[in-house]
Structure formats: C-alpha cells, structure tokens
Amino acid sequence: MIEQVYSFLRDNVVLLISLVGLFLSVFNFYWIHLRRGKLVISPPIKFGLHCARGQRKLVIGLPLVFYNGGATTMIVNNLRVRIDGHGTSFYLHFNDTRKDVDSGQRDQWGYTFTVEARKAIENVFVFMNNDIDYELPTAAVEYSLEAQLNQSTKWKEVIQKGKLLTPEKHHKSMQEIYRVYDNC
C-alpha cells in the first residue's frame, strides 16, 4: 500500500506541484484584488453638541475615521446615530460634514462617499434631528452608529454601544450653543 502511494506521488509530482501553484495563484488573486474587507470606524475622542430645546433640535458632531481593510472600495450610502437610554430611543440623521469639530460652518451637505481599499478617510460628521424634545443627561449618553453600505438598504451597526460623555456640570444654558466636549 505504501509503495503504491509512493509510486503515484513519484509519477505525478509535476501534476501535484502545478495544482498547488494554481491554488496559491487563485487564492492570492482573490486576497489581493477581490476580498471585501470590514469597515473599521474609530470612536470619537471629542464631539460637538447643540441641544436647543425651544427649537426641538439636537445636533451632534462626531469626528470619525473610516478605514477599509479590504481589497475593494466600500460605499457608505448613508449614516445615522441611534441614541438610547433614559427610556427613549431615537435617531439623528446625517446632515453635513465640517472640517473641524469646533467649526460651526458646514463644509458639505450629507452625501454618499467611498472608502478606497486599504485607505482611511477622516471628517467631522454632523447628525441632526429637528423634531425631538430631549434634555441631555449629566452622565454618558449611549449611542450606536449605523450605516447603509455598498448599495444595501439595510442598516448595519458599525459602532455598537458607544458613549458620549457629557460633563458632570452640564448646565442648560450650555446646551443652547454648539460646544465641543472631551470624550475621554
């Protein structure tokens, strides 16, 4: 039995080497050119906040870095933030981008954007809800970032259970203007 296996391997060594080479070539081509990666998003270190209760408006600016570790470009069709806690859950929708977290001026309106393969993009993404009566707590606010990726209509959580740390001495008058807070 051992002699037959040895004889088969000796007679077909060229075929076996060719098949292993073909397998490695196909696998490398897939890994380098076709593999869809995971979109990695950094949690924010700072965030901008504006909560105008009289206007029923909540605005949150999150400086985010999107990194695509895959071999194909990823499309981010839309973004939204879900705020959870204190017996309520609601969404803030992607409104615009800004160059700096403390900038009050809009850079661009919300748009579909791409993250090229093995590259990162960074921007301040501003999320807004114009019809909400919400008073921010003086503790952490739990949020999730959701995205529609690659022409899908389904929302996928890309940051799960993040926290925005509002200051302990959060005063109602501070909510009326856009302010920047540390999230450390």
The pLDDT value recorded for residue 38 is 87
Q: What CA–CA distance (Å, rounded) separates 174 from 135?
A: 12
Q: What CA–CA distance (Å, rounded) separates 3 from 85?
A: 71
Quote the tokens at residue 103.
Answer: 């900038």
Nearest 5°: the CA angle 173, 47, 75 is: 140
What number is the average pLDDT over the span 53-80?
89
Q: Tell me: the pLDDT tens digits for 20-32?
A: 999 999 999 988 8
pTM comes to: 0.80
What number is the average pLDDT over the span 113-134?
89
Q: What are the domain boundaries of the chain?
A: 2-34, 39-182
Quote the tokens at residue 126.
Answer: 């501003």
**CATH fold group of domain 39-182:** Immunoglobulin-like (2.60.40)
The pLDDT value recorded for residue 169 is 53
What's the chain's average pLDDT?
84
State whether residue 132 is helix, strand or coil.
coil
What number is the average pLDDT over the span 72-77?
94
